[in-house]
Copies of this chain bind each other. A is one copy, B any other.
């Protein structure tokens, strides 16, 4: 498999998906076997939008494979972007210094532009309202690990489905690699899942429906994928209407099936409200395991994209 860039979750098919999962599992079991794997290689992380979690997990992944990292924490303010340089030129030049680039950008399509100009592999770590394909990958990996397969699942996506790029990437990916998946979109009227995703699912004969009442969904969903209302991507009025509408807490946790899993791309705010000890003990709460999975999925991806190109 030759993955030269990873921009959209649709790029991943069955074969590639299980190749990544199998490698992620192997790295998790025998990390020392991979500790020098990317020795001498340098990864550049270019973040035009804040994201400690994603950036640190990519950087740690690279370091734990024996590679090195050069990094810019807020490229928007501190880089040549302020001098008016195009994303293509930045990518072209950075690809002379680094063996791979991870980019997060505030504009849709920025990662694709970077990939086209770069001479080294480029990974999209989130582009505007576009995609966040490694998040989708770790989400699907989490579902796979928690349920043992990607078949016969009811997946409720809850919250801000209009601006959330993680739910978009997840639909694309799970729609493609899952079997007999049903999506239930739970959102306020003004933050509904976009028509492009619905068309995509229809085209691929994946069933979905919309539901406004969360309490109707909790007893039947296998996966409850909560999301944060993204204040920074809407008007204050829209935010006030959506805020607090969908919350999981000790009250409605009782409605959730025994074998179900509560997921969240994190960071969360008020939409999740559990005490620490419940988060530690209740197996249905999967979001910290989900976050931890990110490290292994990203290690697998970097290993594949960098090692195989030697």
Provide the A6-38 mask, 1 if CB < 8 A to any CB of B, else 0: 000000000000000000000000011001000
Q: Knowing A40-B35, A40-B64 touch, does A266 contact B96 (C-beta < 8 A)?
A: no
Question: Closest CB of chain B to A56's CB: distance in Å?
Answer: 5
The answer to whether A52 touches B40 (Cβ under 8 A) is no
Q: Knowing A78-B50, A85-B268, A89-B268 touch, does A98 contact B288 (C-beta < 8 A)?
A: no
A218 at the interface (CB under 8 A from B): no
Residue of B nearest to A32 (CB): B40
Provide the A250-273 mask, 1 if CB < 8 A to any CB of B, else 0: 000000000000000011110000
Residues of B within 8 A of A64 (CB): 40, 42
Question: What count of chain A residues pass the 8 Å CB interface test?
Answer: 58
Stretch in A67-75, A123-131, A157-165 touching the partner: A67-75
Alpha-carbon gap, A231 to B276, bound state (A): 37
Alpha-carbon gap, A21 to B51, bound state (A): 38
Question: Closest CB of chain B to A62's CB: distance in Å?
Answer: 9
A107 at the interface (CB under 8 A from B): no
Alpha-carbon gap, A60 to B89, bound state (A): 18
A44 at the interface (CB under 8 A from B): yes
Alpha-carbon gap, A42 to B68, bound state (A): 12
A-side interface mostly: helix
The answer to whether B78 touches A74 (Cβ under 8 A) is yes
The answer to whether A83 touches B267 (Cβ under 8 A) is yes
The answer to whether B94 touches A56 (Cβ under 8 A) is yes
Residues of B within 8 A of A98 (CB): 56, 60
Alpha-carbon gap, A9 to B97, bound state (A): 23
18 contacts between A and B (CB under 8 A): A42-B60, A44-B56, A46-B52, A50-B77, A50-B78, A51-B79, A60-B97, A69-B70, A73-B73, A73-B74, A80-B267, A85-B266, A85-B267, A89-B266, A90-B267, A93-B292, A96-B288, A96-B291
Residues of A within 8 A of B (CB): 31-32, 35, 39-40, 42, 44, 46, 50-53, 55-57, 59-60, 63-64, 68-75, 77-80, 82-85, 88-90, 92-94, 96-98, 117, 228, 231-232, 266-269, 276, 288, 291-292, 294-295
Beyond contacts A35-B40, A40-B64: 12 other A-B pairs, Cβ-Cβ < 8 A, are: A50-B77, A50-B79, A50-B82, A52-B72, A52-B79, A69-B70, A80-B266, A83-B228, A89-B268, A93-B292, A96-B294, A97-B294
